Structure 1
Amino acid sequence: MKIIKYSLLLLAAFLTLLLLWGTFGVPYQIDYHEERAEIPNLPSAWQNQQVALIADLQVGMWLSNKNTVKDIAERLSRQKPSVVLIAGDFIYHPIGDESEEETREEYEQEDVEEIFSELRHALSLLSPLTDSNIPIYAVLGNHDYAMEKPDDTKLAWLAQQVQTALEDAGITVLVNETVALESPGNQEDAPLYLVGIGSHYAGNDDPHRALAQLPDDAARIVLMHNPDSFVSFPAGAAPLALAGHTHGGQIRLPWRSDWSWMAMLADDEVHTDGWINGYGNPDNRLYVNRGIGFSVIPVRLNAAPEVTLFTLY
Structure 2
Amino acid sequence: MLTRRTLLSRPTLAAACAAAGTLASAGYATAFEPHRVQVAHYRLCPPQWPPGLTMRIAVLTDVHAHPRCMGEGAIADVVARTNALAPDVTVLLGDYGSQSRGAVPFETVANLLRGLQAPKGVYAIQGNHDWGDDRAALRRGHGPTRAERALRTAGIAFVENSAVRLDVPAPLWLVGLESEATPGRDLNPERLDRQRSEILARALRDVPAAGAAILLAHEPDLFATGLDPRIALTLSGHTHGGQVRILGWSPWIPSRYGLRYAYGHIAEAGRDLIVSAGLGSHFVAGRPLRLGVPPEIVVVDLGPLSDGDAMEVARARRAGAHLHDPSGSSG
Q: Same fold (TM over 0.5)?
A: yes
In the alignment, structure 1 segments of 5+ residues that lack a partner are 95-110, 184-188
Question: Structure 1 residue runs of 4+, over 6 Å off?
Answer: none
Shift of 1:211: 2.1
- Are residues 7 and 158 of structure 1, via their aligned partners in 2, closer, same or farther at CA, if it must alter by over 3 Å? farther
CA distance in structure 2 between the partners assigned to 1:43 and 1:266 by the alignment: 34
Shift of 1:68: 3.2
Residues paired across the two proteins, number: 274
Q: Does 1:49 align with 2:29?
A: no
Shift of 1:121: 2.6
Q: How does 1:18-33 map to 2 (within 5 A)?
A: 18-33=25-40
Does the 8 A contact of 2:89 with 2:119 survive in 1?
A: no
Decide which of 212, 235, 238 is 2:205's aligned counterpart: 212
The DSSP-based 3-state class of the residue aligned with 1:52 is: strand
Residues 130-158 of structure 1, C-alpha deviations (whole Å, 9 max, x = no match): 6x77621111100000269xxxx687556
Shift of 1:2: 8.0
CA distance in structure 2 between the partners assigned to 1:217 and 1:26 by the alignment: 44
Q: Name the residue aligned to 1:162.
A: 147
The DSSP-based 3-state class of the residue aligned with 1:240 is: strand
- Are residues 155 and 143 of structure 1, via their aligned partners in 2, closer, same or farther at CA, if it must alter by over 3 Å? farther
Q: Name the residue aligned to 1:100.
A: none
Q: Tell me which moved more, 160-169 or 239-248.
A: 160-169
Q: Does 1:63 align with 2:63?
A: no
Shift of 1:287: 0.9
Q: Does 1:197 align with 2:177?
A: yes
Larger radius of gyration: 2
Shift of 1:124: 3.6
Q: Name the residue aligned to 1:302.
A: 292
Q: How does 1:107-186 map to 2 (within 5 A)?
A: 118-129=105-116, 135-146=121-132, 156=141, 159-183=144-168
In the alignment, structure 2 segments of 5+ residues that lack a partner are 1-7, 186-194, 304-331
CA distance in structure 1 between the partners assigned to 2:65 and 2:106 by the alignment: 7
Q: Name the residue aligned to 1:101.
A: none
CA distance in structure 1 between the partners assigned to 2:77 and 2:93 by the alignment: 18
The DSSP-based 3-state class of the residue aligned with 2:116 is: helix
Q: Name the residue aligned to 2:258.
A: 269
Shift of 1:230: 2.0
Shift of 1:20: 1.2
Does the 8 A contact of 1:146 with 1:158 survive in 2?
A: no
- Are residues 30 and 76 of structure 1, via their aligned partners in 2, closer, same or farther at CA, if it must alter by over 3 Å? same
CA distance in structure 2 between the partners assigned to 1:242 and 1:70 by the alignment: 23
- Are residues 155 and 145 of structure 1, via their aligned partners in 2, closer, same or farther at CA, if it must alter by over 3 Å? farther
CA distance in structure 2 between the partners assigned to 1:154 and 1:19 by the alignment: 39
Q: Name the residue aligned to 2:221.
A: 228
